[in-house]
Chains A and B, each alone.
Chain A
């Protein structure tokens, strides 16, 4: 078995091949930005992003870098900084395949995979134009209430789940706190890679208070320690988003040239100035 704790972030993302179906969390849930920078530096291609249930800077940078073949998401948003500019441009050019969804549908489709089920039913959606463009979503008659339509969503089983969390231990257990969609994401995916702020010696499972919010090592293939690994996105109550950098990104990424210039800096520095403390 390969060493669970990887030497660095490049070693962590070495396991994400071109063409991977990659599950990533929303801006508020623990976004592995240092890992994303490493992927872009390596020149990864043809990723199929599954955003649980939305994404922001992470998807936008990967799209801008030409690393993405398709995006399944309920939104690509940098919150108060607006829609991802590279996403908008890729839509205009038709250079990515879109699988527009609605938040609970992506949660439900991953829950189906988590339970080993072929599909999951979900309320709502009927009458939305989302359905017209999702030939993989079916509407059936509720077998328990004739004449009542209900949507079925095929299970989503990603190849790799990738996220960032505050804490892990030497055994590979990862503390996810109350971000329990990360457990769904990990269990639905064939493999899970996690960057963390810190790796501690004591097992998270030795203390019930930590254990309740822990993703067990059973589901984790690799961990790498990286400080400020979500920057410039925030990490729960550990640190907030870096508004100045996000605003600069959104301004720059409106053009191809601006994006290229921003990324050259970003990939070189890879971390905020204050992370070097």
Chain B
């Protein structure tokens, strides 16, 4: 079997973070998290629900665009995915832009539902393929959604992990810091340190991210590729190894 490619590894890493979830929701422009949620669902043999925005087959909401948010508020969504043009060491994310506001030099689309879902979904997984100092900064220019909140702010949700093309980090909510869990095969700690703009905790020996086994790769290249193609046809055509 062809060895695992980078995208397949990321999908398997994210799927591994979804153990025990009853309902995983996937937002806009998220083909890798979407594939991961479908993989995790398959492993539970139907024990997990997956809602994918813009999918018809994997979207059971009937109450319009507000239902995702209401569902999260009711505690009925266990995991969600967010990204950021910038992500900082305190778990703050910036989806708005850099270089001032409102006249930003670099402007991104906007905050979407982040300022709400980050507070209400217990396991928010941050995903960004580009692991550089441009993205992973010491302090974001604009906080779309804060990583942590003072104790008087009602909040059951927040960052759970950060997945990049180089590594997997856990987020320690009590300390408001990331801790490096593993580095993906082919990369090393120096590369991670060089490309991360924030300080983080790490064990003395950083483990290598386990690669998916053959059974997982077969699922990804077969049924998962087919299922994600409904929402992300171009991704499905290019992301998976033959």
Chain A residues closer than 8 Å to B152, beta-carbon distance: 147-149
B120 at the interface (CB under 8 A from A): yes
Of A83, A102, A123, the residue contacting B109 (CB under 8 A) is A83
Is the Cβ of A129 less than 8 Å from the Cβ of B65? no
Chain B residues closer than 8 Å to A54, beta-carbon distance: 109-110, 112
Is the Cβ of B111 less than 8 Å from the Cβ of A75? yes
Chain A residues closer than 8 Å to B105, beta-carbon distance: 92
B144 at the interface (CB under 8 A from A): yes
1/0 per position for A72-104, CB-CB distance to B under 8 A? 011111011011100110011110011011111
Is the Cβ of A178 less than 8 Å from the Cβ of B115? no
B200 at the interface (CB under 8 A from A): no
Max chain B C-beta neighbours (<10 A), residue from A76, A91, A111, A124? A124
- Chain A: residues with Cβ within 8 Å of the partner, total of 55
Chain B residues closer than 8 Å to A25, beta-carbon distance: 65
A28 at the interface (CB under 8 A from B): yes
B238 at the interface (CB under 8 A from A): no
Is the Cβ of A92 less than 8 Å from the Cβ of B104? yes
Is the Cβ of B65 less than 8 Å from the Cβ of A149? no
Is the Cβ of A91 less than 8 Å from the Cβ of B65? no
- Interchain CA distance A58-B195 in the complex, whole Å: 38
B186 at the interface (CB under 8 A from A): no
In the complex formed, the residue of B with least CB distance to A147 is: B152
B116 at the interface (CB under 8 A from A): yes
In the complex formed, the residue of B with least CB distance to A182 is: B64
Given contacts A102-B113, A103-B116, A122-B116, contact A92 B107 (CB under 8 A): yes
- Interchain CA distance A183-B64 in the complex, whole Å: 9
Is the Cβ of B144 less than 8 Å from the Cβ of A129? yes
Of A52, A88, A98, A123, the residue contacting B154 (CB under 8 A) is A123
Chain B residues closer than 8 Å to A126, beta-carbon distance: 149, 153
B242 to chain A, nearest CB (A): 23
Of B28, B102, B104, B116, the residue contacting A123 (CB under 8 A) is B116
Is the Cβ of B66 less than 8 Å from the Cβ of A128? no
Of A104, A122, A129, the residue contacting B101 (CB under 8 A) is A129
B163 at the interface (CB under 8 A from A): no
The 19 listed contacts between A and B (C-beta, < 8 Å) are A53-B112, A54-B112, A75-B112, A83-B107, A100-B96, A100-B102, A100-B110, A102-B111, A102-B113, A102-B144, A103-B113, A105-B115, A105-B116, A107-B66, A127-B146, A128-B111, A128-B115, A129-B143, A149-B153
Residues of B within 8 A of A (CB): 28-29, 53-54, 56, 61-66, 69, 73, 95-97, 101-105, 107-120, 142-146, 149, 152-155, 234
Residues of A within 8 A of B (CB): 25-26, 28-29, 52-54, 73-77, 79-80, 82-84, 87-88, 91-94, 97-98, 100-105, 107, 111, 122-130, 133, 147-150, 178-184, 237
Given A26-B65, A75-B109, A101-B111, 7 other A-B contacts at CB below 8 A?
A53-B112, A91-B97, A148-B152, A148-B154, A180-B64, A184-B64, A184-B66
